[in-house]
Amino acid sequence: MDYNAIEYYFDDIESFYIELGELLQQSCETDQHVQHVVTQYIQFLIRFQKEFITTQAQMAQVAYKLIDSTFYLEHSTVILSHIVQSHALTCHDASGLLIAYTLLLYAGKEDPRWMQYVVSEATIRKRNQLLCKIIDELDSFAVDRVMCGLALALGFEMGKVAKFRRLDLGKKVVINRRCTEIGNELNSIPLSIFGILDAITINKLDFLLDLVESTRLDTEESFNYDIIRLLLVFNEQFMMAQNRPNLLVEALVNRLGSTTTFGENMIFMLNRSDDSCVQLLILKLLYCIFTEPKLYEYFYTNDLYVLVDVILREVCDLGDDREAETLRDAYLRILRPLLVNTQLRHKPYKKTEIHQILCSLITPYMHRNVESSSKKLAQRILEDWWENICQQKVAPVLGVDIKNAIIHSGTGLQHSAIIKPSTSPIPQSPCSTSSSSFKSDLSPSSINHTSSSTSPLSLSLPNSPPPQKC
């Protein structure tokens, strides 16, 4: 049946949705029939797009009309493959792309393994053809924020599932039996989006950064955040690639002083985001910025104060699962260059609070189990910042009542201290292990730079000198 040849008269949007449901109730015995039904569904949506699909909520509703159907449950891989190969990769019309990208985006949001399957279908010779196509299309979408925002969001979701897979954050959402089967199939599929690096140029990055700055006065911030999230994915790929310069860092250096909105909104997103992947990607870019000498003073001092507050809160409040441990470790990894390299070196902020929390990680209460990598990170921050920058002795406060103790710092210096129950904020959960996706210079082995003859923290009780407060 040619649905384009049929005249439809809908009294309201509900009757439109009823007709959509009837399209999905057709019985399909072959993959070709499934593909035909999917094409009918997409063409039907394109035909009535201006009448019934004008808002983001309506776009989501027509997508979930398909995703929640028995038809999708029974034929999900065929459906997704057909949308990618016959619509998303081949279509260049904005109306058709709006529908195809919408269906793929919400399928991936429903379960990351469906997006992994989309990436595998779009990847040819280790090059993600769909993401490269989206990058090339962004210029032409600039005047249409709905289409551009959708393309940006889809690009980020494709990068996001690759991040989850690489970090193994433990996010395994089982929606139904068929979705579980897809997950099992993907165990043997090598997913990679490293092929996008060839499509990312300085000009493309400048275009996206200009878009961010152009939205500074917008009351609706979602478009701005969509751009930033895609840029974060780009940075991740540059960090993971070998023998390639980080073009995003180069772009920020070249635009020093003219990308303030990007920096401000990135910290704002970190402060408010509940998406662990977004947080980790932001922290990685912050690390790149704080370790690039030309960008040491990229942020305004007030923004750095906000960032310190966020770090202190997250280090204390994150949970004790694997994802939380990875995040806490990442927060600690950027704290050192933040305190040592930026304006905070000369304008300290919350010195006492930072010192107390770091000490509580090194010498926690009896009931807390802090990972050794976190202790090493905290010890290094104390040595490089508290001892060298603040010119204070390193003498962590133990969370037990022991008097006349001698604390040995990682530099071999001995300091005496009264040891008493700490009043510092105590994290509610174990601290994190290291994140494998940081560069090698961030690994725990590189952090443990104390000599083998001197333990990072040793405690000696007998014959101690008179106690002093640290």
How high is the pLDDT of residue 469? 36
Average pLDDT on 444-468 reads 35
Compare 213 and 399 and report the one with higher pLDDT: 213
347's tokens: 């304008």
Residue % of the chain over a pLDDT of 90: 41
How high is the pLDDT of residue 382? 82
* CA-wise closest residue to 169 among 312, 330, 378, 362: 330
* C-alpha–C-alpha distance, residues 344 and 348, integer Å: 5
Residue 327 lies in a domain: no
Q: Write the pLDDT tens digit of every residue in 114-169.
A: 998 998 888 877 778 899 899 999 988 888 889 999 999 999 998 877 654 343 33
C-alpha distances in Å from residue 80, one per residue of 137, 253, 273, 423: 21, 40, 29, 55
Average pLDDT on 88-96 reads 93
Residue 173 lies in a domain: yes
Average pLDDT on 225-250 reads 90
Residue 195 lies in a domain: yes
Average pLDDT on 83-97 reads 94
pLDDT at 399 over 80: no
- DSSP per-residue letters across 393-420: ---PPPSS---SEEEEPTTS-EEEE---
Residue 63 lies in a domain: yes
Residue 40 lies in a domain: yes
Residue 306 lies in a domain: no
Residue 290 lies in a domain: no
Count of domains forming the chain: 1
How high is the pLDDT of residue 468? 37
Estimate the share of the chain in helix, then strand, then coil, as percent rounded to the nearest 5.
60, 5, 35
372's tokens: 């050794």
Q: Tell me the residue range of the domain where 148 lies.
A: 1-199
Determine whether 252 is exposed, middle or buried from the number of CB atoms within 10 Å of its CB (0-12, 13-18, 19+): buried
Residue 398 lies in a domain: no
